[in-house]
Each structure stands twice: as C-alpha cells, then as structure tokens.
Amino acid sequence: MAALYIVGAWVVLQVADLAFESWDIASSALRYVWLGAILGFPITLVFGWRYDITTKGIVRTPQRDADTEVDLQDFHDAIQGYDRVFTQNYCTTGLCRAYDMVAV
C-alpha cells in the first residue's frame, strides 16, 4: 500500500508541477500539494495496516490469535512476483540515470 501511495503521490506531484506552470498558478501552491502528499502518507499506512483489499472488497484485517503459527511460505509465494517487478524497475531506473550522467 505504501509503495502504491508513493508512486501515486509522485505522479500527482509531477502533473501538478506541469499543470500549475502552464496554467499560471502560483508556484507556492505546489507546496500545498507536497503538504497533502506528506500528511497523507501516515494515514495511508494506518489504513493499509488495518484493512485488506480482497476480491470481496475492502475488509478489516482479521486479528491473529496468539497461538496461531505464521506460515512464511505463503507470504514468500505471494510477494515473489512483485519482487521481480520492483527489482527490474530499480535496475532500469538505475541504468537510465547512469546513461543520463554519461551522455551529458
């Protein structure tokens, strides 16, 4: 949830930066967009911790019993695909930045 929020906030900030400049909105208004993005992050973390997005909609995360064991294999299987996507994204971004530094 936090990663999605960060990506979404980045997109909103980029669009606001371009839109405010082209619509002659004061650049100080961009500070309020930053403020909203920063203040919204902890709220997103709390909601991401307390609620799950399932096929049945948004439901509250069930509490785990103290005597219930956690199966880490299920967790590993669930995030394995996302790890590949994030790793490829970071490598591509790093290569693009390195190319920009060399090509200048």
Ranges of beta strands (E only) in the chain are 51-54, 57-60
Report pTM.
0.53
Q: What is the pLDDT of residues 17-45, one digit of tens each?
A: 999 988 888 888 889 999 999 999 999 88
Task: Collect all residues with Cβ–Cβ distance below 8 Å to 58 and sequence separation of at least 6.
Answer: 51, 52
Q: What is the pLDDT of residues 60-77, one digit of tens each?
A: 887 777 666 666 666 666
CB contact at 8 A, 54 and 11 = no
Amino acid at 99: Y
Angle at CA of residue 8, ends 7 and 12, nearest 5°? 120
